[in-house]
Chains A and B, each alone.
Chain A
C-alpha cells in the first residue's frame, strides 16, 4: 500500500505489521464471561476503548475489546490481545512495562522482540509524542481491567 513517493518516516511509523493488525484486528469484540473491565479515552482525539480481561489459574485467559480509534490504537490493542493471552498476570504486567518503556524512548531504545513480539513494530511510534497515547490506550485499559479483575478475585 505504500508507494515509491511515500516518505521513509511514514513507512517506519506504519510498519506492515501495524497496518495488518489494523485491517485484521485479532480478537476484537466484547466477550463474556470476564473478570475485569476498563474504558479508556484519549481526550486529545476522542478515541476510546472498552476492554475486558478474563483470568483463569493466574493466567490471562481472554482479552476482548471494542475500540474506536486510529490505526495505531487499534493495532496496538490487537497485538496486545495476541501477546498477553496465556501469559501469567505478572508476565503480562512486565510486557506492559516493556511496551511503556519503548513508547517513552523517543526512538532511542532498541526494541526487544522476545519481550514484545509484534509490539516491536511500534518502535517508530515513540518518535511521535502525539501518537504515544494512541499506542498505550489499549494497554492502559488492559492494566486497569486486570487490576479490577484481581481486586474482584480477592473480594470474591
Chain B
C-alpha cells in the first residue's frame, strides 16, 4: 500500500552511507518545496525542527488508506476493520523497528507532548490509586523529579505540574555557557524518581550525554525519559541501545503527519504502569463496578486512535529507511558545518550553542547584534527563507544564556547547500537593512530571486 521508494529515481533500497544524497531527486518528492512565497520568492524552508514537510509517498499512503481501507481499528469483524487494523499495526511494527524496540513497546499518542503527559499522569494515577503493582511510579512528597535547564517546555511543564500534584520537588541540571547540560551542577539522590532530558537540544543542537545520565539514574534507581523529538528525525537512534526507560518523538517532525506521536516504554514498565486516558479500546473486562485493563500498548490508546496518521508515519519511516538515516545524518552535518562556518565569518553574529560538530546535531540558533530576532526573521521571510524566531519553547534556556530570543535554522534531508548560502546572505541583508555592524563587510551579492 505504501511506496518505499524515494521518487522517480531508481535508487537502491539500502544505499551505502558514503553515497551523498541526490537532493534534487529528494526535493521532487516534496510538492510544497516547489511553491513560492512573498511575491514569487522560491521557498527556502529551514524550519523542519518545528515541523517538517511531507513527501508525496506519505501523502499518498494516507490518502490510499482512507480511500481503500478506512475503518475503526481493533473493533468490528468486517473486512475493512481487518485491513485497517493490519495497516495500523504494521505501521507500529515498522516505527518500532526504526528506533530499535518491540512493537508492543510503542504507544501511539497525539504528539510527543501528549506522550510526556501520558507518563506524568500515569505516575499521578499510580500515586492516587496506590496499586502495589505500580509502586515504581508512585511519587510522594520529598521525592524528586529531575530535568535540565535545556528542556523544551513540553519536557518541563508536565513535570512541574506532576510535582505540584504530588508534593514532589522539581530539580534540574544547569546548562553551560555553550548550551550543554552541566553534569557537575546536580547530584541525584535516592529520592530521585525520574530523570527526563532532551536527546538533542531544539535550540543549541547539543547532543546530551545519554549514557552518563542513564548510568547516574540507574545508580539511584530512577527512571529515565528521553525527549527524542530532535534526534529521531535526523540520525539513526536506537532506544534499546541507549538503555532509556521511556522515549518520545513526534511524527510531524520526521516527514510524517501531525496528530501522531510515539511513546516508547520498556515492556515491563508499560505492563506495570496504570493508564492515563481511559475508555474504549484500553479495557480487558468492564463491569459496572470496575474495569480491568488491556495489556500495553492498547492500555494507553483509549478511544478510536488516529489511524491514517499512523499509516502515514509508517510511510515516513519507510521513506527515511530507503534513503538511509546514516546518509540523512551525514547530509545534515554538511549543511550544519557550512552554516556554522558561514555565521562565524559574519561580524556581529553570535551562535547560540556549540560551534563545532562534536556531539552536535543540525539545529543552529543564533543572534545578530542590534537586530531583534523577530526583525531578522521578517527580513529572511521577505526573501522567502522560513526560519523560527523566538525562544522556541525553551524560555528558561534562553534566559540562562542571557538572551531574550534567537533565530533558529533547522535542516532536513531536502535542504541544500545553496539554501544555506541564501540564509547567510539573508543574515547580511538583515544587518544592512537595520544598519548595524557587519554590513560594511558584505561582499556577496544578495539573491532575492
What is A's interface to B at a CB cutoff of 8 Å? 1-3, 5-10, 13-14, 19, 44-47, 68-72, 128, 131, 134
Contact = CB atoms under 8 A, between A and B. Distances in A.
Interface in B377-406: 378-379, 382-383, 389-391, 395, 398, 404-405
Contacts of A5: 429, 446, 448
B445 to A, nearest CB: 9
Nearest to B447: A5
A68 B404 contact: yes
A2 B375 CA distance: 14
A22 to B, nearest CB: 9
B382 A7 contact: yes
Contacts of A71: 372, 374-375, 434
A73 to B, nearest CB: 8
B434 A72 contact: no
Given A46-B404, A131-B378, A10 B433 contact: yes
Given A7-B383, A9-B382, A46-B390, A70 B433 contact: no
B432 interface: yes
Given A46-B404, A46-B405, A71-B375, 14 more contacts: A2-B433, A5-B448, A7-B382, A9-B382, A10-B433, A14-B378, A44-B390, A45-B404, A46-B390, A47-B405, A71-B372, A72-B374, A128-B378, A131-B374
Nearest to A134: B374
Contact of B374 (A8, A19, A45): A45
27 contacts: A1-B432, A5-B429, A5-B448, A6-B433, A7-B38, A7-B448, A8-B39, A9-B382, A10-B378, A10-B379, A13-B378, A14-B375, A14-B433, A19-B434, A45-B391, A46-B390, A46-B395, A46-B404, A46-B405, A47-B404, A47-B405, A68-B404, A69-B372, A70-B373, A70-B374, A70-B375, A128-B378
A7 B375 CA distance: 14
Interface residues of B, number: 25
Given A5-B446, A7-B39, A70 B372 contact: yes
A14 B391 CA distance: 23
Contacts of A8: 39
B31 interface: no
Contacts of B382: 7, 9-10
B68 to A, nearest CB: 38
B295 interface: no
- What are the 10 A-B residue pairs with the smallest beta carbon separation, nearest first? A70-B374, A70-B372, A45-B390, A10-B382, A7-B382, A1-B435, A46-B391, A46-B404, A45-B405, A71-B375
Given A44-B390, A46-B395, A47-B405, A1 B433 contact: yes
A134 B54 CA distance: 31
A70 B435 CA distance: 15
B355 to A, nearest CB: 23
B39 to A, nearest CB: 7
Max count, chain A CB within 10 A of own CB: residue among B41, B378, B391: B378
Nearest to A68: B404
A33 B273 CA distance: 58
Nearest to A47: B404
B384 to A, nearest CB: 9
Contacts of A69: 372, 374, 404
Contacts of A7: 38-39, 41, 382-383, 448
Contacts of B374: 45, 47, 69-72, 131, 134
Contacts of A70: 372-375
